[in-house]
Amino acid sequence: MTKLSVNINKIATIRNARGGNIPDVRLAAINCQKFGADGVTVHPRPDQRHIRFSDLYEIKPIITTEFNIEGYPSEDFIRLVISVKPDQVTLVPDPPDAVTSNSGWDTVKNKSLLTDIISRFTEAGIRTSVFVDTNPVNIETAALTGTNRVELYTEPFARLFPENHENAISPFIEAATIARECGLDLNAGHDLNLDNLKFFHEKIPWVKEVSIGHALISDALYLGLENTIQIYKRQLSD
């Protein structure tokens, strides 16, 4: 079954807007797991505008499922991740001022960089995933870096989905098939939501994990966190 990892960055954004510790991101991580999430994702950025570096150390001890840390592999980020030792690190090509992830890696151009960084995480016993688009060359080259997984950047799918479901999913099926043929496990994330997640999963049922934050936390404002996580989990049921 495809795992659901809940990205709790938006909860930290609300906390930081007011100061103090309400809402408590550590408690949110506990509750996400209690309510059925298969993992917790965070994406610390250099300006710490949502998840703070200190949050990672507070969250790690209460993880009973899987802990996934996303981010651009600056030297500070690499040291932070190796210190915290999550189950998985997802490498994204975001510049420091990016509002959100908006592209996958050019793995050909960055092959040497990624290979070196992935070897450091592998040595530390941390599973790696590389954020990629559907370009077959980027997926095939990612396989040469030593990564365990790739995560498909699904915003293009989500954007086209309302207009034409089949056209939206077609390049992702091809990309997912190539990843599998290359021996890579597959994750997916970005703009997956209650409108498109079930269709995506039905077409690519071998996805190991989807990471969802903005849509899920937004839905939880109306539906409640426990109810929302259960609804998302049902979209991933066989």
Catalytic residues, which ones? 43, 70, 190
Given CA atoms 85, 90, 92, 96 in this order, what sign does their dihedral have?
A: negative
The answer to whether the bond into 23 is cis (omega within 30° of 0) is yes
Distance CA 114, CA 93 (A): 10
Tokens of 117: 């960084």
In sequence order, the 6+-apart residues with CB closer than 8 A to the CB of 75 are: none
